[in-house]
């Protein structure tokens, strides 16, 4: 095996399929990402394991469908909230765990959202360093959430600041990334850069706001693109560009409002229509992987763990089933994806399945449906051909039955045999509490955007 690559995984928050220029946006300028796509691989059929953030992130880190790791729901909620007593179990193995064990230095910058109690934080899951927010940036004190605990900015497991200026966070995150890259030595590194953008509320640094052609939303998108350009600049400066696989994606589909777009897909964040889970994915590793490629092969975030293991000489966890598939050959060869199907879960309800070009919907928000779409011919899921293809429906129904037996399905009352318990702690409490005498730079965020 040759020299093991550094891995940079940049994960945006709520960035939609149509929000980058290279995916069709006419209002957001993303020259650095466009260049990465032109010189690397742009995937058109890439999926996150959930249409909302906590299960999406847990699924990506562990290579598992969220219900398998107990991340289908959180005490009845779709995502984790401050002070909950549940989170990512210490029994689960993450990408950071396997790469750390293989000799990689590991760091996460930005949003974690897999549990805010000490037992669930990143340093307990394979990361050497952590700097960022433990959950969404709308979970601090802001208009309409006046009773929320102050938003904590964490360094390691220490609360560094409460209610930080959100307009400054992207620049502070980039500074952390540059410092981490500059400390590169003989050991390779894994950097998980989990952006705050473009989750509501939309706070971007003023230079981006002043230049934006798409309001605050466009400013946040362009701030993300700026970080990409700055990191690529630093990699070149350190002579690491050809030693580093850089992956860019988003945790779920966009909201479709405030200036965002999932075009040409149907649906949005929280739904199992394509707009909820099909997201941008760009991979860039000059001199190694294919260049200038637009791939329509099926790929998911769960495939990162075994793919990174194959590329980095790391061991895939044994004794626990994962759902990810090693897709490393796709980066080097024009071959079919080894992933043949993908199941769409909304919390613990199995709502749809895709295989090849076909997608069958059987449930929407607890209501049974019968809808079949050919995604190659009908990417916007607008022409239901369920009655025209009973043979395809029967094949996909069989896959759904097998999935229910393994992962369960609350709507049909089936308890899966392959699910594992979520992590739990006794006597949980929020990381912060509001105090009138605390020197907050911003006592209350002034935007009322939530979600």
Radius of gyration of the chain (CA): 21
> What tokens does 352 get?
């749809």
Measured from the Cβ of residue 379, the count of other Cβ atoms closer than 10 Å reads 18
List residues bridging with 304 in a β-sheet.
Answer: none
CA distance 108 to 125: 11
| Beta-strand runs (E) in 199-305 | 244-250, 281-284, 293-295, 299-300
Which residue has tokens 């093991």? 4
Active-site residue, from 53, 64, 281, 327:
53
- CATH 3.40.720.10 positions along the chain are 6-339
CA distance 103 to 126: 11
Residue length, the chain?
451
Let me know if 220 is a catalytic residue.
no
pLDDT tens digits, one per residue of 122-162 = 999 999 999 999 999 999 999 999 999 999 999 999 999 99
CA distance 408 to 28: 40
Residue 161 Cα distances to 143, 153, 425, angstroms: 20, 5, 25
- CATH 3.30.1120.10 positions along the chain are 342-422
Let me know if 113 is a catalytic residue.
yes
Active-site residue, from 113, 195, 258, 361:
113
Packed helices 53-62 and 304-312: angle between N→C axes, nearest 10 degrees = 30
pLDDT above 70: percentage of residues in the chain = 100
Which residue has tokens 């099909």? 278
CA distance 12 to 8: 13
Fold of 342-422: Arylsulfatase, C-terminal domain (3.30.1120)
Residue 73 Cα distances to 47, 121, 271, 335, 405, angstroms: 19, 18, 15, 36, 18
- CATH for 6-339, options being 1.20.140.10, 1.10.540.10, 3.40.720.10, 3.20.20.70: 3.40.720.10
CA distance 381 to 275: 10
Supply the DSSP string of 70-124, one letter for each residue: T-S-BTTBSS--TT-SEES-TTS--HHHHHHHTT-EEEEEE---S--SGGGSGGG
Note down pLDDT in tens along the chain; length 451 residues: 468 999 999 999 999 999 999 999 999 999 999 999 999 999 999 999 999 999 999 999 999 999 999 999 999 999 999 999 999 999 999 999 999 999 999 999 999 999 999 999 999 999 999 999 999 999 999 999 999 999 999 999 999 999 999 999 999 999 999 999 999 877 899 999 999 999 999 999 999 999 999 999 999 999 999 999 999 999 999 999 999 999 999 999 999 999 999 999 999 999 999 999 999 999 999 999 999 999 999 999 999 999 999 999 999 988 999 999 999 999 999 999 999 999 999 999 999 999 999 999 999 999 999 999 999 999 999 999 999 999 999 999 999 999 999 999 999 999 999 999 999 999 999 999 999 999 999 999 999 999 8
CA distance 213 to 252: 24
Residue 43: what are its φ and ψ, rounded to 5°? -90, 130
- DSSP helix/strand/coil, 391: helix
């Amino acid at each position: 095996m040759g020299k093991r690559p550094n891995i940079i995984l940049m994960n945006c928050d709520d960035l939609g399929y149509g929000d980058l220029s290279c995916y069709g946006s006419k209002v957001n300028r993303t020259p650095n990402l466009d260049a990465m796509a032109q010189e690397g691989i742009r995937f058109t059929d890439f999926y996150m394991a959930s249409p909302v953030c906590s299960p999406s992130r847990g699924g990506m880190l562990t290579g598992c469908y969220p219900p398998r790791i107990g991340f289908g729901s959180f005490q009845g909620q779709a995502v984790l909230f401050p002070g909950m007593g549940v989170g990512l179990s210490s029994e689960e193995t993450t990408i950071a765990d396997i790469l750390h064990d293989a000799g990689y230095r590991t760091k996460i910058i930005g949003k974690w959202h897999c549990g805010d109690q000490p037992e669930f934080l990143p340093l307990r899951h394979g990361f050497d360093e952590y700097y960022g927010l433990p959950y969404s940036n709308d979970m601090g004190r802001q208009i309409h959430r006046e009773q929320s605990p102050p938003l904590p900015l964490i360094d390691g497991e220490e609360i560094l600041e409460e209610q930080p200026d959100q307009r400054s966070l992207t620049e502070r995150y980039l500074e952390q990334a540059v410092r981490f890259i500059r400390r590169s030595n003989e050991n390779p590194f894994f950097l998980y850069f989990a952006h705050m953008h473009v989750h509501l509320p939309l706070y971007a640094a003023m230079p981006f706001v002043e230049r934006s052609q798409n309001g605050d939303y466009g400013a946040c998108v362009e701030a993300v693109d700026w970080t990409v350009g700055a990191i690529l600049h630093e990699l070149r400066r350190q002579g690491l560009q050809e030693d580093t696989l850089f992956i860019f994606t988003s945790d779920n589909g966009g909201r479709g409002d405030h200036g965002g777009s999932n075009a040409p897909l149907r649906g949005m964040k929280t739904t199992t229509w394509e707009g909820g889970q099909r997201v941008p994915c760009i991979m860039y590793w000059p001199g190694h992987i294919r260049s200038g490629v637009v791939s329509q092969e099926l790929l998911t975030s769960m495939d990162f763990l075994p793919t990174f293991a194959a590329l980095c000489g790391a061991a895939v966890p044994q004794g626990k089933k994962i759902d990810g598939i090693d897709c490393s050959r796709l980066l080097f060869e024009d071959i079919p994806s080894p992933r043949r199907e993908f199941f769409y879960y909304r919390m613990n309800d199995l709502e749809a399945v895709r295989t090849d070009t076909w997608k069958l919907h059987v449930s929407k928000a607890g209501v049974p449906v019968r809808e079949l779409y050919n995604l190659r011919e009908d990417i916007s899921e607008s022409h239901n051909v369920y009655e025209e293809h009973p043979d395809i429906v029967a094949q996909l129904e069989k896959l759904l039955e097998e999935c229910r037996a393994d992962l369960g399905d609350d709507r049909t009352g089936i308890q899966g045999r392959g699910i594992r318990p979520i992590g739990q702690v006794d006597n949980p409490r929020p990381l912060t509490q509001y105090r009138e005498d605390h020197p907050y730079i911003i006592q209350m965020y002034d935007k009322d955007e939530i979600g």
